[in-house]
Amino acid sequence: MISEYLLYAVVILFSITLHEVAHAYVAYLRGDDTAKMSGRITLNPISHIELFGSIILPVMLLLMKAPIFAWAKPVPIDYRKLKNPKLDILLVSLAGPASNLSLAFFSGLVICLVGAFPNFTASFSVSIEHCFSMMIKVNARLLIINMIPIPPLDGSKIMAYFLPVELRTKYLNLNPYIGFIILNLVLLSGMTNGIINLIINFFVMIFTS
C-alpha cells in the first residue's frame, strides 16, 4: 500500500511539473521570459512544488478516496511581454493540458509496446503496465479538471479567449481562491466522480488499444 501511494506521488509530481514547464516554455517562445528568469523552465520538481496544492490536497483526496487532483505553483506570466497577448494567453493556457494529453498518449504507447514483446518476464510487464496505466489515469484527470472553466484553471483562460473584452477582463479577475474553494467542494462532494471516471476510462481504452 505504501509503495502504491509512493508511486502515485511520483506520477502526480512529475505530471504537474511538466504541466507548469509547458506553460513556462510556451510563454518564453511567445516573448515572455518571466518564468525562465524565475527558474521555472526546469524539470526539478522543487522549483514547482506548492505546499497545499502539490502535497496536502492530493494526500487528503487520496485518504478520502476522492478524485485525485493537484497543482503546482502558478507560472509567473507578464502579459505585456507577449507578442500577441490575446492569442498567446490561449496558447500558454493550452500548453499545460497538452502536456498531460501527451503524457497519457506516451504512456499508452509504452503499454502497447510492452504488450508486443511477450519475452518480458510476467512480473516486469505487469509492473510497467501498472505504472503507465496510472500515468494515463492521473494525466487524464489533470487534463479534465484543468479544462473546467473556473478561474484560475486553464479552462477559464481558454474560455476567456472567446469572450468580449470587457467580460473577459472581469471574468479573469475573479478571485482565484473562490474558484479553488468551489473546485475542492465539487471534488470532495463526489458529484463529478462518475463523469470524470467515465472520461478517464475512455482515455485508457483509447490510448492502450
CA separation, residue 130 to residues 60, 85, 155 (Å) = 23, 41, 29
Backbone angles phi, psi at 67, to 5 degrees: -55, 130
C-alpha cell at position 122: 510476467
* Residue 20 designated active-site: yes
Cβ atoms of 26 and 35 closer than 8 Å: no
The Cα–Cα gap between 4 and 106 comes to: 21
Sign of CA dihedral 162, 96, 209, 138: negative
Which one-letter amino acid corresponds to residue 66?
A: A
Instruction: Please tell me which residue in 4, 20, 50, 129 is annotated as part of the active site.
Output: 20
Catalytic residue numbers?
20
